[in-house]
Amino acid sequence: MDALPALRIVDALGIYGESSDPVYPEKNLLPIWASRFDLHLEVLRPWPESAVAGQTDVVEILFAEPGGEFKQVDQRSLEGLITFPLKLELDNQHLVEGESRIFFRVRTHNQNVYESEPAAFTIDKRIPLDKRPPTPIVDEPLYDGPGVTEGYLKANCDVVKVRIPGYLGYKKGDRVSILFGPLNPPPVAEALIDVRASETVVALPRYVFESLKNGVYLLHYRLESRAGAQTELSTGKFIRVNFPPRESDT
């Protein structure tokens, strides 16, 4: 008999693209926050002869850690009528780094046994860089000259380009958040790390600087894996904002 469809890993990130040629290779990559809780699972559609009123089916969850063999880790009796999608959970104690596998087995009220296809999921706690990221690279006039001026923006298509140095061990899906402004500023831009180049270029538009009073501000960034593991803030670079006098500067 054909196997039942695999469990759905509810909180997994998408792979995008075709399943035969995905953009991201990890199978059901979990966000870092999701790996701190019980794993949410769903059985999407009924198995044959699923229990109705007055009947009971027994569902087992079988789990294999990375490189390990399948073991039963949970069993529960479900009284009919069973509704779908059926929500199940895997206890957080089983969630370890790497690619694990999971499937379910059901024994119906009339003693027939069905098994699902196995599903894989991945926990990746890698931080993109295991030390403080280096200083962002910008044009010299921005920090050792007049700064961000009307003339500079007009000569550079109304953007300031920030270059993020490459680093060892990057993976597809790593991204960078640029922070600029007064103390504890929010991110002003985000971009995927360009894994094909020695550095990633992020363009900050004019409004980022026009929204600030004239003065000197700190530019820095943070790297983050696709799963959400973050580095500390990079070493900063001071940049001057230097527009003609405006009402907001008074």
Residue 20, pLDDT score: 63
Contacts 24+ apart (CB under 8 A), 2-6: 3/114, 3/115, 3/116, 3/117, 4/43, 4/47, 4/104, 4/106, 4/114, 4/115, 4/116, 4/117, 5/44, 5/45, 5/116, 5/117, 6/103, 6/116, 6/117, 6/118, 6/119
Q: Is residue 67 part of a domain?
A: yes
- Interior angle at CA 214, CA 213 and CA 217, nearest 5: 90
- Locate tokens 């009339």: which residue? 110
Same domain, 53 and 111: yes
Q: What residue numbers bound the domain in which 102 lies?
A: 8-123
Same domain, 92 and 144: no
* Token digits of residue 62: 């079988």
Q: Is residue 135 part of a domain?
A: no
* Alpha-carbon gap, residue 173 to 79, rounded angstroms: 43
Strands 21-22 and 17-18, by their bridges, are: antiparallel
Residue 52, pLDDT score: 92
Q: What is the pLDDT of residues 134-172, one digit of tens each?
A: 999 999 999 999 999 999 999 999 999 999 999 888 888
CA torsion, ordered 23, 24, 28, 30, to nearest 10 deg = -130
Residue 48, pLDDT score: 94
- With residue 205 as reference, give the H or E element that holds it: strand 199-205
- Considering 123, 148, 163, which residue would you say is the last residue of a domain? 123
Same domain, 177 and 235: yes
* Alpha-carbon gap, residue 227 to 22, rounded angstroms: 16
Same domain, 154 and 213: yes
Residue 250, pLDDT score: 56
* Token digits of residue 247: 């009402």
Same domain, 64 and 159: no
Question: Between the CA of residue 8 and those of 2, 13, 47, 138, what are the distances in Å?
Answer: 18, 12, 15, 45
Q: Is residue 162 part of a domain?
A: yes
Q: Is residue 57 part of a domain?
A: yes
* Alpha-carbon gap, residue 151 to 188, rounded angstroms: 22
* Alpha-carbon gap, residue 217 to 249, rounded angstroms: 14
Residue 244, pLDDT score: 85
- Considering 79, 94, 123, which residue would you say is the last residue of a domain? 123
Same domain, 78 and 144: no
Q: Is residue 220 part of a domain?
A: yes
Q: Is residue 130 part of a domain?
A: no
Residue 223, pLDDT score: 96
Residue 155, pLDDT score: 96
Q: Is residue 159 part of a domain?
A: yes
Q: What is the pLDDT of residues 232-243, one digit of tens each?
A: 999 999 999 999
Same domain, 101 and 164: no
Q: What is the number of alpha carbons within 13 Å of residue 214 lying toward its C-beta?
A: 13
Q: Is residue 1 part of a domain?
A: no
Same domain, 14 and 117: yes
Residue 17, pLDDT score: 62
CATH number at residue 154: 2.60.40.10
CATH number at residue 54: 2.60.40
Query: Which stretches in the chain have pLDDT values below 70?
Result: 1, 16-21, 246-250
Please give the tally of structural domains in the chain: 2
